[in-house]
Chain A
Amino acid sequence: MASLDDLKKRIASVKSTQKITKAMKMVAAAKLRRAQESAEKGRPYSEKMNNVILNLSNGISDKENAPKLLSGTGQEKTHLCVVMTSDRGLCGGFNSNIIKKAKSYFAKILDEGKELKIITVGSKGNDQLKRVYGDKIIENISFKESKNANYFDADKVGKMVIEKFEAGEFDVCTIFYNQFKNVITQIPQAQQIIPLNNEGEESSSEESYEFEPDEDEILSNLLPKNISTQIFKAMLENSASEQGSRMSAMDNATRNAGEMVDKLTIEYNRSRQAAITKELIEIISGAESL
Chain B
Amino acid sequence: MSEEFKVEIVNPEKSFLMKDDVSEVVVPAFEGEMGILKDHISIISFLKPGIIKILSKSGDENYYVEDGIVEFKNNNLSILTSTIFNLADMDKSKQQYLLKQAEEEANKININDQSKYLADQKVEVLKTLN
A contacts, CB < 8 Å to B: 38, 41-42, 44-46, 48-49, 51-52, 55-56, 150-151, 154-155, 205, 207-213, 218, 221-222, 225, 228-229, 232
CB-CB < 8 A to A45: which residues of B?
Answer: 10-12, 80
Contact B15–A44 (Cβ < 8 Å)? yes
Contact A207–B42 (Cβ < 8 Å)? yes
| The one of A48, A218, A232 that contacts B78, using a Cβ cutoff of 8 Å | A48
Contact B12–A42 (Cβ < 8 Å)? yes
Chain A residue with the shortest CB-CB distance to B68: A225
| The one of B15, B46, B78, B80 that contacts A41, using a Cβ cutoff of 8 Å | B15
Query: How distant is the Cα of A221 from the Cα of B15 in the complex, in angstroms?
Result: 22
Q: Shortest CB–CB separation between residue A242 and chain B, in angstroms?
A: 18
CB-CB < 8 A to A51: which residues of B?
Answer: 71
Query: How distant is the Cα of A150 from the Cα of B46 in the complex, in angstroms?
Result: 23
Contact A55–B44 (Cβ < 8 Å)? yes
Instruction: For chain B, residues 9 to 42, give those with C-beta under 8 angstroms from any C-beta of chain A.
Output: 10-15, 29-31, 34, 41-42
Task: Add 14 more A-B contacts to A45-B12, A52-B71, A228-B82 (CB < 8 A).
Answer: A38-B13, A44-B10, A48-B10, A48-B78, A52-B80, A151-B11, A151-B82, A209-B44, A210-B43, A212-B45, A213-B45, A218-B69, A225-B67, A229-B12
CB-CB < 8 A to A229: which residues of B?
Answer: 12
CB-CB < 8 A to B100: which residues of A?
Answer: none
B73: interface (CB < 8 Å): yes
CB-CB < 8 A to B73: which residues of A?
Answer: 205, 207, 209
CB-CB < 8 A to B44: which residues of A?
Answer: 52, 55-56, 209-212, 218
CB-CB < 8 A to A154: which residues of B?
Answer: 12
Q: Dominant SS at the A interface?
A: helix
CB-CB < 8 A to B31: which residues of A?
Answer: 212-213
Query: How distant is the Cα of A169 from the Cα of B80 in the complex, in angstroms?
Result: 30
Interface residues on B, range: 20 to 34
Contact A225–B45 (Cβ < 8 Å)? no
User: Could you say which of A56, A209, A218 has the most chain B C-beta atoms within 10 Å of its C-beta?
Assistant: A209
Query: How distant is the Cα of A212 from the Cα of B42 in the complex, in angstroms?
Result: 11
Known: A210-B41, A213-B30, A213-B31. A151 touches B46 (CB 8 A): no
Give the 4 A-B CB pairs with smallest separation, nearest first.
A41-B14, A151-B12, A212-B45, A210-B43
B contacts, CB < 8 Å to A: 10-15, 29-31, 34, 41-46, 67, 69, 71, 73, 78, 80, 82
Query: How distant is the Cα of A254 from the Cα of B51 in the complex, in angstroms?
Result: 53
CB-CB < 8 A to A218: which residues of B?
Answer: 44-46, 69
CB-CB < 8 A to B15: which residues of A?
Answer: 41, 44
Q: Shortest CB–CB separation between residue A46 and chain B, in angstroms?
A: 8
Query: How distant is the Cα of A183 from the Cα of B30 in the complex, in angstroms?
Result: 44
Query: How distant is the Cα of A209 from the Cα of B78 in the complex, in angstroms?
Result: 14
Chain B residue with the shortest CB-CB distance to A150: B13
Known: A44-B15, A52-B80, A205-B73. A211 touches B10 (CB 8 A): no
| The one of A38, A48, A56, A209 that contacts B14, using a Cβ cutoff of 8 Å | A38
Q: What are 13 A-to-B residue pairs whose CB atoms are below 8 Å?
A: A41-B15, A42-B13, A49-B80, A52-B44, A52-B69, A205-B73, A207-B42, A209-B42, A209-B43, A210-B42, A212-B31, A212-B34, A228-B82
CB-CB < 8 A to A205: which residues of B?
Answer: 73
Query: How distant is the Cα of A42 from the Cα of B31 in the complex, in angstroms?
Result: 29
Contact A208–B69 (Cβ < 8 Å)? no
Query: How distant is the Cα of A211 from the Cα of B71 in the complex, in angstroms?
Result: 10
CB-CB < 8 A to A38: which residues of B?
Answer: 13-14
Q: Shortest CB–CB separation between residue A287 and chain B, in angstroms?
A: 81
Query: How distant is the Cα of A52 from the Cα of B71 in the complex, in angstroms?
Result: 7
Q: Shortest CB–CB separation between residue B27 and chain A, in angstroms?
A: 11
Query: How distant is the Cα of A218 from the Cα of B70 in the complex, in angstroms?
Result: 11
